[in-house]
């Protein structure tokens, strides 16, 4: 059984940016992790509700609806897929959708296809195709890719797709942090830390400002 260490850092950050919408505006994150040496792929979605057709529901507000198809292929053959619908809660303004699906896959090369269709306007779509490589489990120490999160809160909702290690972890959509946000959560997993031969390990994370080369450091 593999040894795994979880890294969840909270950094202070001030960041300003802008997003340009086109048809269905969606952000997709891919992450490969290991559970007891078995790899699995995480596919998380953030769909911007304001780029979907609205349906007015009396005085209760508006809702939006989408159909989602996630297909995993290997050598042009479908090895797994998820097909489902999402409906926003009633609100004054269209709500964003967030969702996460996990696929247990053996090591290899895959093509992941994402198709999102607006139920109320079928011509309004989002399509993405991404090549993904899942590596073999290593016996030496290695680290998963870093994920940026917009929010982390303790939870017991184990049936929530964003539940992990006693917390709900929401990915940061578009890697964007608006003006009101001053916290950046960083998540990663370290595997086989006991193979380093060291009793104590330090983790150092740096953030660099590409405009003026100012960086900050966090060590745990």
76-132 residue pLDDT tens: 999 999 999 999 888 888 889 999 999 999 999 999 999 999 999 999 999 999 999
Which among 57, 60, 178, 173 is positioned nearest to 120, based on CA atoms?
A: 57
What confidence score (pLDDT) does residue 9 get? 58
**What pLDDT does 3 receive?**
65
Give me the phi and psi of 105, to 5 degrees please. Answer: -135, 145
Which is nearest to 115 in space by CA: 101, 131, 102, 126? 126
Q: What is the pLDDT of residue 132?
A: 96
For residue 173, the enclosing domain spans: 4-219
How many structural domains does the chain have? 1
For 159, the token pair is 């049936």
- Residue 199 CA, chain-centre distance (Å), reads 32
Q: What is the pLDDT of residue 8?
A: 60
Other Cβ atoms closer than 10 A to 94: 19
| C-alpha to C-alpha distance for 7 and 9, rounded to whole angstroms | 6
The reported pTM is 0.80
Contacts of 6 (CB under 8 A, 6+ apart): 165, 187, 189, 190
Q: Does residue 21 carry a pLDDT above 50?
A: no
Burial of 30 (0-12, 13-18, 19+ CB in 10 A): middle
CA distances from 208 to 48, 145, 165, 212 (A): 29, 18, 29, 9
- Tell me the CATH number at 168: 2.60.40.3880
End-to-end Cα spacing for the chain: 25
Residue 118 in 3-state DSSP? Answer: strand
């Amino acid at each position: 059984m593999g040894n795994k260490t979880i890294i969840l850092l909270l950094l202070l950050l001030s960041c300003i940016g802008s997003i340009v919408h086109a048809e269905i505006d969606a952000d997709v994150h891919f992450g490969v992790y290991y559970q007891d040496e078995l790899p699995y792929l995480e596919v998380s979605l953030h769909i911007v509700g304001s780029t979907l057709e609205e349906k007015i529901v009396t005085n209760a507000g508006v809702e939006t609806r989408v159909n989602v198809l996630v297909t995993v292929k290997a050598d042009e053959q479908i090895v797994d897929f998820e097909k489902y619908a999402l409906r926003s809660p009633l609100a004054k303004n269209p709500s964003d959708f967030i969702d996460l699906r996990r696929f247990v896959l053996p090591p290899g090369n895959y093509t992941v296809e994402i198709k999102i269709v607006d139920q109320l306007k079928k011509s309004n779509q989002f399509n993405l195709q991404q090549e993904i490589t899942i590596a073999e489990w290593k016996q030496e120490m290695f680290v998963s890719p870093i994920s940026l999160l917009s929010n982390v809160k303790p939870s017991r909702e184990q049936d929530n797709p964003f539940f992990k290690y006693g917390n709900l972890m929401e990915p940061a959509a578009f890697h964007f942090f608006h003006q009101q946000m001053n916290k950046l959560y960083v998540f990663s997993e370290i595997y086989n830390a006991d193979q380093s031969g060291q009793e104590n390990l330090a983790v150092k994370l740096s953030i660099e400002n590409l405009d003026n080369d100012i960086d900050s450091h966090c060590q745990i």
